[in-house]
Structure formats: C-alpha cells, structure tokens
Structure 1
Amino acid sequence: MADRYDDGMRVRREVLGDDHVDRAEAAKDAFTEDFQDLITRYAWGSVWTRQGLDRRMRSVAVLTALLARGHWDEFAMHVRAALRNGLTRDEIGEVILQSAVYCGVPTANHGFAVARRVLAEADQA
C-alpha cells in the first residue's frame, strides 16, 4: 500500500502541481487526514496510474464529469491540470462545448466562464 500512496503522491503533484498539493497537505488535520490519504492512495495511486488512458484522456473525462456535476472549484483546478497534461486551450473549449449537448447550455456557459478565468490566470503566471 505504501507504493500506491507514493505513486499517487507523485502523480498528484505532476498533475495538480506542487503548490496545490503542498497547500492541501498543509491544511490537512486529524479530521481530514484520512480523506487526503484516500484520494492520494486511490484516486491518484490506483486510478490515475492505470495504463488504460493517458493523462490527456483522463483530463477530458474529469473535466466532463466535473462540469456535469457542477463542481466548479474542482473544475477550475482540473482546467489547470488539463493544461499540465497537454490539453490545448482549444481542446478544453471543445470539451466544454461537447458537454453543452449532454449537460446543458447553462452548465457549459458557466464552465466557459470558469475556464476563461483560469486561463487568464495562467497567462499572468
């Protein structure tokens, strides 16, 4: 199990960036420690490390799921991750546009607003 945690932490840092993971780790306390362990070990160490999809495809799937559920903070985080995983701005836009058909125009409209803000922040960095 230590390997899954270590692999998960490595992938989590590669996808989300050290700054994000360091903030999450610093904010961890006795109440959230088990949850942080769960997402590192299982989401990142068991699923994101699988060979079946590359990271670009995983980012497409995650963006779509987060749009569909309206998880906007996580969507913003994964727009940044999608850039790190090699998606272009145009491809991120296409994911949102495709999602409009299946998730609804208001959802895509908000998704474009969130993505536009994140991409503008990336331009400033």
Structure 2
Amino acid sequence: MMSSARYEAGMETLRKMVSEEILSQTVEHVKKFDPDFSNMIVEFAFGDIYSRPGLDLKQRELITIASLITQGAESQLSFHIHGALKAGLTPKEIVEAVMHCVPYAGFPKALGALGVVMNIFNELGIKHR
C-alpha cells in the first residue's frame, strides 16, 4: 500500500509525540495484525486531527488524557502519558490533570489512571514529589 499524505503527516506527528520504541510497540504492532486498522489510526487520529493548527501537542495531550480518564480507557493512557511528557507537560501537570478528573469521572477511573501514571513515572525514573 502506498503512503498517503495523511499517513505521512500522522507519522510525523507521532514521531514528535513518542519514541520510536513506543511507536513500534503500538502502531507497528497493530499494523502486523491489521494494516488497514493501523492506517486508519495514523491517518485519521494523527494525520487529520492531531496535525491540525489551533492547538499544540501539549494542549492536545492534556485533552486526550482527560478524555481517556473519563472513559476509563486505561489501555490507551500509557501511550498518551508518554506523548504528554514528550510534548512538554510536566509530571506535576499530568498528576494535576488526573486529579482534576475526579469530580467528573469519579475516584475509580482517576485512581486507575493514577496507577498508569505511577507505573510510567517509575519506569522513567520520574520523581513526582
């Protein structure tokens, strides 16, 4: 399959967001299972939406983290916590975003998200306080 401009824009955005290792663990992992699904993710989410003007990656990741927390979508949260850190969100801002979701999503979803954040911070050697 030939790469489209949307796909290339999506991959460019993804490379700004996460390391090649994480990119391989996610996008390439899905691509091996179903290339069309992988292309849709790259083209639509990152080529069409994340690449739009108007918000920077830091703002987009903050919105995405909040949205994922309110959905209880912990499986996607790790990718976006890494993206948020690379986009410039501080560990304190990430924890504050999780805390801010408590009154909207509830403690169970926020605590689940905090567990993901704690694991990533531990893996990366990030001290929160």
Normalised by the size of structure 1, how large is the TM-score? 0.90
**Residue number in structure 2 paired with 1:54:** 56
Change (3 A) 1:48 1:27: closer
- Which residues of structure 2 form unaligned runs of 5+? none
1:109 CA drift (Å): 1.5
Report the RMSD for the aligned CA atoms in angstroms. 1.7
**Residue number in structure 1 paired with 2:99:** 97
Normalised by the size of structure 2, how large is the TM-score? 0.87
**Residue number in structure 1 paired with 2:89:** 87
The percentage of counterpart residues that share the same residue type is 28
Task: Supply the AA of the counterpart residue of 1:11.
Answer: T
SS at match of 2:101: helix
Distance 1:48 1:28 in 2: 20
Task: Supply the AA of the counterpart residue of 1:39.
Answer: I
Write the deviation string for residues 10-44 of structure 1: whole angstroms up to 9, x where unpaired: 11122122112223325523x51101000111100
- Which residues of structure 1 form unaligned runs of 5+? none
Distance 1:14 1:38 in 2: 19
1:113 aligns with 2:115: yes
Task: Supply the AA of the counterpart residue of 2:7.
Answer: Y
Choose which of 29, 34, 37 in structure 2 pairs with 1:35. 37
Change (3 A) 1:40 1:27: closer
